[in-house]
Structure 1
């Protein structure tokens, strides 16, 4: 049975005093005025791609499943993903040849992130003559990025560098950027969740943005207060299902906004004096910081503000400690474990922490209804590292996860073991083709990766 609905553009936004709030995908955005089951099947939500990077490899014995196919048990590190196992593929055997030394000596950490999305071998230099390759996200952005407000978004928890010496003669540009617009132009990432929020929901001009921010600060108003009239008018045009989706979405925007306000408050000691400085909007706690950024990723994809996104937990070779996990040692130092059981156990704790934050992202994405499924169902989300075992610095049999169903293109819920040495770029080539990019080769690919559909 069908019903009449008013057709809306996917770029429809709620506006008011320098604020622009994009809308989630709804039935009214289907390219027909008569909504039928057949129409929903043939004109559903857009397909998206995202890439999440973790540094220093992982403790592989606690990562790699023993069984193949659908009947496999998640190892300890991947246990936080248990509820999403049916929406997840564990891919083993993939390799990143561009991260190998090829006569350049040390610098595996720099190469591992520089090559992670490019498949290229970066030129060894700590000067201005950097040379890498175009990353998979930017190939997609150049071909299909014009369909959204932002061709792509680059996010992370640690800022990008544009100069300096970081790893055995490699520039810090390589260690802190994984998205590359071309061979010499990395895409710096945004690390402040408040800045991302402002970018997603502010007006279209800088004047509008500054004016809206000033008024909100003066009157302590939510951005939703400024679009209330437009939202009420829109509600009259929508069916019951879309009204519910918009209400749920606006509630989520307000919830994130409240948490961002809380994140801007400085921690006070017993004397009521701030005991540390930090930029507004960036929580001191890494877990809270990561979760806010996962909220930003969800909102960016949910509103179709972008369909292409990359995220780095930390920069390559990070030696950050994790005292909240009982790990006071630096991550990079621990990765050189020399087969120490104690160090490997600590590495596994750090690995599991990162996976828990990835699980948080999947929780958020799977909670967003979209079309005949969820936001996660229409995404292809890669999680992994350009190093396998941090002690060996090897770049084969990488820890790679692929979450989401790619709008029906991915048969998920499996552990797929490929021949060791299969190029990681084969996966990227397959993903580019699903995004509609006209490519038949990427990086060191030999063919589009098999067995995903």
Structure 2
């Protein structure tokens, strides 16, 4: 049976799904390639120290073929031919100390509690890529306490100014949203109960909103739109129920009785992977630490958690080696799953790009002068792989995001950066020629 608190949490998760099929927001002009493609963003909090990813002795651009990857990312050693390590981008304009929040993926100034000022790159890519049932899915990993009490949170992704996109942190709620319609037992009963209530709330909400003060109507309208979207998604998923049964993860005790928060991290990743392989989504954003300065990994044998983790040097630190190795194994899981699904003349991984970085640039207390990034895959041959690129620190993360849009089929000279800001923070124009094939 659903108690009142569980029902309200589920409703909040449903309303927080964020925008889905809205073709109005695009940048630039269409390019020609429209093949199936997908992009994954993996954002680890507390910074990404370059010494934990750049091979020893590499100070200039070159091949990774004969290089040995640092211990924190050693799980990627068999995949070096698909890896591109980028050092020397910057995000000085994003105010990334503690976190740039929406600015990390938006390429603009961000701060705790400050709403997004423009769309983020993951949202924009989800609109440019070939459409899916749910173009953009965000999942967030944190301590079990934070994921339980705040099953949805918005800190990294946005569909526009003042329009955050929520990430899902309770795998039970997310499973019900994606696969409740093909489930049995309690999961099916909970799904049907929430569906009925959501449908009724949508009808009532549409009629009540006009009586609110004008200042509240916009926010209320976004909330109502969330109910419309979750109800619409449910209907769309019902039309492909037989297909989804092939991809739905098995629900086990990690969902209902997690021993550690990493149990939930693992099944959240399973759900994210299944959303990609089933074709539910084309853009997945993973927030490890949920874009904030918290986070816990007790399942890795790490007792310390939260803010203190950001006060530690990452290189040669046993704690950060464990966290980064865990991240790397997750990246391998994504690649292996996509590699196992045929697509076109190759596999899903052939048409996928994974972007791994941090919402904190290189460390928790940073000015953003260096923002390391790893790319895995080549998005149908669009990106160079098997190499390390050292930039001079004069091009912003926005230039990388313009490159992603270009590779996805949308011409873009600048992403979220006008000429005035670019004059101060970008010494170039257009995508990064160093990373595009």
- Same fold judged by TM-score > 0.5? yes
Aligned to 2:48: 58
Superposed counterparts of 1:182-261, under 5 Å: 182-203=160-181, 213=191, 252-253=247-248, 256=249, 258=250, 260-261=251-252
Query: Please, what TM-score do these two structures have when normalized by structure 1?
Result: 0.64
Q: Which runs of 5+ in 1 are unaligned?
A: 1-41, 101-106, 160-171, 216-226, 232-245, 267-282
Q: How much has 1:59 moved relative to structure 2? A: 4.2
Q: 1:288 to 1:432 in 2, by over 3 A?
A: same
Aligned with 1:449 (options 406, 420, 432): 432
Pair 391,43 (structure 1): closer, same or farther in 2 beyond 3 Å: closer
For residues 449 and 59 of structure 1, do their structure 2 counterparts lie closer, same or farther at Cα, with a shift above 3 Å needed? Answer: closer
Tell me the equivalent position of 1:303.
278
Instruction: Tell me how far 1:196 sits from its aligned partner.
Output: 2.9
Contact 2:138-2:166 at 8 Å conserved across structures: yes
| Shift of residue 201, structure 1, vs aligned partner | 3.7
Find the counterpart in structure 1 of residue 260 from structure 2: 285
1:65-104 alignment to 2 at 5 Å?
Answer: 65-66=55-56, 67=58, 68-71=62-65, 72-100=67-95
Range 315-324 or range 60-69, more displaced = 315-324
Q: CA deviation at 1:265?
A: 3.7
Answer yes or no: is the 8 Å Cα contact 2:42–2:355 preserved in 1: yes
Q: Is the 8 A contact 2:47 2:363 kept in 1?
A: yes
The answer to whether the 8 Å contact 1:70/1:415 transfers is yes
Answering whether residue 307 of structure 2 is matched by residue 312 of structure 1, we say no
Residue of structure 1 in register with 2:98 after alignment: 109
Identify which range, 54-63 or 192-201, moves more after superposition: 192-201
8 A contact 1:156–1:314 mirrored in 2: yes
**Structure 1 residue aligned with 2:387, among 408, 411, 414?**
414
Counting matched residue pairs gives: 333
Of 142, 153, 156, which residue of structure 1 is paired with 2:140? 156
> Kindly tell me: are residues 138 and 62 of structure 1, through their superposed partners in 2, closer, same or farther at Cα, counting changes over 3 Å?
closer
Structure showing greater radius of gyration is: 1
Q: Which residue of 2 aligns with 1:377?
A: 350
Distance 1:291 1:361, change over 3 A: farther
Please state whether the residue corresponding to 2:321 is helix, strand or coil: helix
Indicate if the aligned counterparts of 1:321 and 1:331 stay in contact, CA closer than 8 A.
Answer: yes
Q: Does 1:180 align with 2:158?
A: yes
Q: 5+ residue gaps in structure 2?
A: 1-31, 144-149, 194-237, 418-425
Residue 371 of structure 2 is aligned with which of 398, 405, 418?
398
Quick one: distance in 2 between partners of 1:80 and 1:419? 28
Distance 1:409 1:397 in 2: 24
CA RMSD for the aligned pairs? 3.5
Distance in 2 of aligned mates of 1:189 and 1:350: 21
What's the offset of the Cα at 1:379? 0.7
The match for 1:436 is: 409
- Partners of 1:416 and 1:341 lie apart in 2 by 20
2:133 and 2:75 mapped to 1: Cα distance?
Answer: 33
Q: Answer whether contact 1:197 1:296 (CA < 8 A) is retained.
A: yes
Contact 1:119 1:133 in 2 (8 A): no
Residue 43 (structure 1) shift: 9.5
Residues 182/371 of structure 1: CA separation in 2 closer, same or farther (3 Å cut) = same
Q: Supply the distance in 1 between the matched residues of 2:48 and 2:375 (Cα, whole angstroms).
A: 16
Contact kept in structure 2, 1:131 and 1:183, CA below 8 Å: yes
Change (3 A) 1:213 1:121: closer
- Distance verdict in 2 for CA 1:53–1:432, change over 3 Å: same
Q: Which residue of 2 aligns with 1:103?
A: none
Deviations 1:201-256 (A, max 9, x none): 4559xxxx9669569xxxxxxxxxxx9xx96xxxxxxxxxxxxxx8xx95553xx2
TM-score (norm 2): 0.66
Is residue 97–residue 395 contact of structure 1 (8 Å, CA) maintained in 2?
Answer: yes
